[in-house]
Amino acid sequence: MKYIQEAFDSNWIAPLGFNVDEFEKEFANYIGTKGAVAVSSGTAAIHLALSLLEVKRGDTVFCSTLTFVASANPILYQGAEPVFIDSEPNSWNMSPVALKKAFEDADRKGKLPKAVIIVQLYGQSAKMDELQSICNAYQVPIIEDAAESLGSKYKGKFSGTFGEYGIFSFNGNKIITTSGGGMLVSNHQEAINKARFLATQARDPAIHYQHSKLGFNYRLSNVLAGIGRGQLEVLDERIRRKREIFQTYEKELKKFSCISFLKELKDSFSNRWLTTLTINENQAGVTVEEILKAFEKENIEARPIWKPLHLQPLFKNIPYYPHHKDVSISEKIFSTGICLPSGTSMTEVDQNRVINCIERLLCHSH
């Protein structure tokens, strides 16, 4: 409230002002990048990153398939075509095997992608060493979609700092929120300045309104940036709580061999934005659908895992590279996965209701 009050007191309600500048500085400071640009959404941040990399009609962009549609929509905004890459079983994130195959095919056709969008799903980092070395071999830049993984680390380095560009979301459901908002980060100061210019309608430095480039109305408002600054101060506490929620679920449910939780990769640290698990339906004697229905009856909101983008009607006939020729890991995760309630304001009583509901179902089915 203090930061919001300052915005009102100074009469800077506009999409610029002290809070925006400070939020960008504090954020870049936290994750350790040279610069950050506060924008209206994570989607806007991806769109800006693609614009900065000059992705245009006729280009292709490789993208994780197991993610929210916003990871890929901006590829279409630019008139380019996505190519979807499957997950691998350990992190649920982009499969290095599938990525390598996609690159080999693209290389053979003499048409490399303009960029690769790697998503860090549910707070868990992808196998960045392997993925980076493949992209580096072909000299194709990475956009890291860290919308869900603020505060997560891979080999001691923060999520969102591996690619040419990193993007974050502060949507209402994220680990910290500005109600709606996002951030584009990079170590290239020049690119950051250019992103700021593009996000502010690409207005040339002239006293009159002059525009030589196509721009966007993508800046975050000073009021919302104030919320972001306040939230950033409690980020570590939120991560601690998210991890605690995960640990409780794991401890109470690991007695069921039909349940597998998404594990942290070796040398990685997950913010555990959402606690996710997969169910072996044959072993459990209940289906994912039945579990979700039972939750609904108890007024517990749970969700399936993201539906892979290559299965979405919007992306019909788009090329897709599975993890192995006959094995689509993302489809398997989608058909057997559940996201459990993981809000940081959950009480112990709330969480026990969720756990009891699962226990009743699984014990009953045995």
pLDDT in tens, 176-208: 999 999 999 999 999 999 999 999 988 888 888
Tell me the HSE value of 261 on the side-chain side, using a 13 A CA sphere: 22
SS3 10: coil
Same domain, 65 and 94: yes
Tokens 């983008």 belong to 309
Same domain, 134 and 160: yes
**pLDDT(15) > 80:** no
Same domain, 206 and 279: no
Same domain, 228 and 240: no
Domains held by the chain: number: 2
Same domain, 75 and 93: yes
Average pLDDT over residues 27-35: 98
**pLDDT(5) > 90:** yes
Structure confidence at residue 153 (pLDDT): 98
CATH number at residue 201: 3.40.640.10
37 forms beta bridges with 184
Q: Which two tokens stand for residue 75?
A: 């590829």
pLDDT in tens, 285-314: 999 999 999 999 999 999 999 999 999 999
**pLDDT(255) > 90:** yes
SS3 29: helix
Confidence of residue 161 (pLDDT cuts 50, 70, 90): very high
Same domain, 191 and 246: no
Q: Which domain holds residue 263?
A: 235-365
> Using an 8 Å Cβ cutoff, are 20 and 228 in contact?
no
Which amino acid is located at 10 in the chain?
A: S
Structure confidence at residue 364 (pLDDT): 75
Question: What pTM was computed for the model?
Answer: 0.96
C-alpha to C-alpha distance for 1 and 345, rounded to whole angstroms: 19
Same domain, 239 and 316: yes
Average pLDDT over residues 344-348: 95
CATH number at residue 344: 3.90.1150.10
Cβ-Cβ contacts under 8 Å for 34 (sequence gap 6 or more):
28, 186, 187, 188, 189, 192
C-alpha to C-alpha distance for 179 and 40, rounded to whole angstroms: 10
Average pLDDT over residues 81-110: 98
What value does the CA radius of gyration of the chain take, rounded to a whole number of Å? 21
End residue of a domain, out of 201, 232, 263: 232
Structure confidence at residue 366 (pLDDT): 60
Q: How far from 242 is each of 38, 92, 206, 239, 300, CA to CA, in Å?
A: 25, 19, 48, 5, 18
Same domain, 101 and 185: yes
For every residue of 45-61, DSSP letters joined together read: HHHHHHHHTT--TT-EE
> Using an 8 Å Cβ cutoff, are 221 and 12 in contact?
no
Tokens 């500085």 belong to 25
H or E element, residue 61: strand 60-64
Which amino acid is located at 360 in the chain?
A: R
83 forms beta bridges with 62
C-alpha to C-alpha distance for 233 and 205, rounded to whole angstroms: 35
End residue of a domain, out of 232, 259, 278: 232
331 forms beta bridges with none
Structure confidence at residue 365 (pLDDT): 67
CA angle 101, 93, 234 (to 5 degrees): 150
Same domain, 51 and 75: yes
Same domain, 37 and 168: yes
Torsion angle of C-alpha atoms 74, 334, 244, 1, degrees rounded to 10: 30
Torsion angle of C-alpha atoms 54, 58, 59, 65, degrees rounded to 10: 120
Confidence of residue 61 (pLDDT cuts 50, 70, 90): very high
Structure confidence at residue 313 (pLDDT): 98
SS3 136: helix
Same domain, 59 and 112: yes
Same domain, 130 and 166: yes
Which carries the bigger pLDDT value, residue 366 or residue 278? 278
Neighbour count for residue 296 (Cβ, 10 Å)? 11
Structure confidence at residue 307 (pLDDT): 98
Shortest CA distance to 145 belongs to which of 133, 131, 130? Answer: 131
End residue of a domain, out of 213, 232, 251: 232
